[in-house]
Amino acid sequence: MDGNRRFAKKHNLQGLDAGHRAGFVSVTYVLQYCQEIGVPYVTLYAFGIDNFKREPEEVKCMMDLMLEKIELTIDQAISGNLKDLKVIFAGDLNLLNERLKVAAQSLMELTEQNRGLVAVVIVAYSTSHEIVQAIRESCVRKCVDGDSPLVLEMSDVEECMYTSIVPDPDLVIRSGGIDRLSNFMTWQSSRSLLHTTAALWPELGLWHLVWAILKFQRMHDYLQKKQKLD
């Protein structure tokens, strides 16, 4: 979800959160498009750990905006308007402020039994951090289980990752015209197709999404063969 700040600069939008507000509007549309197309899982990289290094005023604006949108979504869930959407927050939620963490947990609980599109919102996350935490948790589990000697398998680490409850992504779409993953699910996306679009995140529309999916479908047989060889 890259390009919010560039979008604000491009359109002379005022306010630290102007671009991010436009980005949240795009989230709503993308989720709607995915529901209509029949995509079962969507993972949104909303806030990386490195984003905490930005100016404190901007970080606060982003956290406040995220809380505002989560609370709005909670109201929709309570009123019964989110029956076709399940929301999962993944990442080191302990790095969030208490009010935001509680709100995220509440939304997950409210939509836990929902059927339809599963939206995974990645916050306070980086692959590096995730792997370190997963290895630590794996070691703790092994010690508690009394396994000796301590031997970690790949499956042990994967079970302790933040995203272990959802399938690995088939397609990674990077907005903003930059060809890199930015420490986003690099373990899980080792066999994924990376599609980069020049459109900034708030500019992402239905046809950008359709084009990425068509590209994935065209490459599907090759990707399947590659997975079998691996």
pLDDT at site 29: 95
Tell me what pLDDT residue 146 has. Answer: 66
H or E segment to which residue 5 belongs: helix 4-10
Q: How far out from the chain centre does Cα 84 lie?
A: 18
Local structure of residue 197 (DSSP, 8 states):
-
Q: Is there a contact between 185 and 158 (Cβ–Cβ < 8 Å)? A: no
Burial class of residue 20 in the structure, from the number of CB atoms within 10 Å of its CB (0-12 exposed, 13-18 middle, 19+ buried): buried
- Give the three-class secondary structure for 113: coil
Q: Give the separation between CA 141 and CA 144, rounded to whole angstroms.
A: 5
Catalytic residue annotation: 2
Per-residue model confidence (pLDDT) at position 133: 96
Quick one: pLDDT at residue 158? 94
- Which pLDDT does position 228 carry in this prediction? 66
pLDDT given for residue 148 in this prediction: 58
Whose CA is closest to 210, among 34, 9, 29, 7?
Answer: 34
Domains with residue ranges and CATH for the chain:
4-229 (3.40.1180.10)
Q: What pLDDT does 147 receive?
A: 58
SS3 call for 77: helix
Residues of the chain with pLDDT under 50: none
